[in-house]
Amino acid sequence: MKKTKNWLLAILILPAFYSCDDDDTVDTSAPQITLEDPVNGEAVAAGTAMDVHADLEDDVNLATYSITIHDNFDGHAHGRLLVENFSFSESYEVEGTDTHVIQEVNIDAEATAGPYHFIMEAIDAAGNATSFQDDSSIEIEIWITNETMAHIHLMDANDAEIDELEGTLGEALAIYGEVEDESGTLDHVLISVGHLEEEAGADGHDHGRILEDNIFEEEYEVEGETSVLLQDLLANESIIITQADLDELEEEEHLYLIVQATDGEGNISRNAIEIHFD
């Protein structure tokens, strides 16, 4: 009888032992985010709703995700008063090990045009949060447009709009175009020739688009003007691309002509086209 009691005691203790062992398992893995929309560089009009589509995954249980949008003007307004510096920050509850997020973000009708950071983060039920250190948090650049911002037209010598620029190595680029503001005045125009590099994180997603190692970059003060021609701004410049410049590019990189204009109200507009060479 005593032996039987010992076996019964062992059977009762065994589940409790494994239960305690399970409780000791600590969830240390942060959620994963796969952002489908918006995409890096996407333009969204002020006064409209921007669609956000994303997949969230966690090995145990999700808890919340957040969406944050703030401007990335980086002082380009030159101290001028912005129409309305749009910002957005909301957190949403979620549960389960995976979910597909469909969310709408309303962009204020009076939002200042220009580049904005779109950030998406997530936290699981154990408190593990995504981070920028390991690229599990998502950060991309979007552009808000509005009806009062300046318009940038890139053209050929015959005043036809172009979506790519043809150049010849060793010869000065022939750059034509117009920057016009139909509802106000311009403040300054930035003209660059360089490469746009996709900044990819460890998860393979593009977390920003940066312009670096410019072959040419010049800012022109045009305060009070309603329209300026690029060929006039560049009249004393000679932008020449050599084979050595192209050799500096990584595989699949290209050179771009980038024109960025800021108006008197702080709205920023940009047009970038790829440069092809004979």
Q: Which pLDDT value is given to residue 223?
A: 95
The pLDDT assigned to 129 comes to 96
Instruction: Give the integer Cα–Cα distance in Å for 138 and 157.
Output: 42
Q: Which residues of the chain have pLDDT under 50?
A: 1-4, 7-14, 16-21, 76-83, 199-211
The pLDDT of residue 195: 80
DSSP string, 108-163: PTTPPPEEEEEEEEEEETT--B--TTTT-SEEEEEEEE-TTS-EEEEE-TTS-B-S
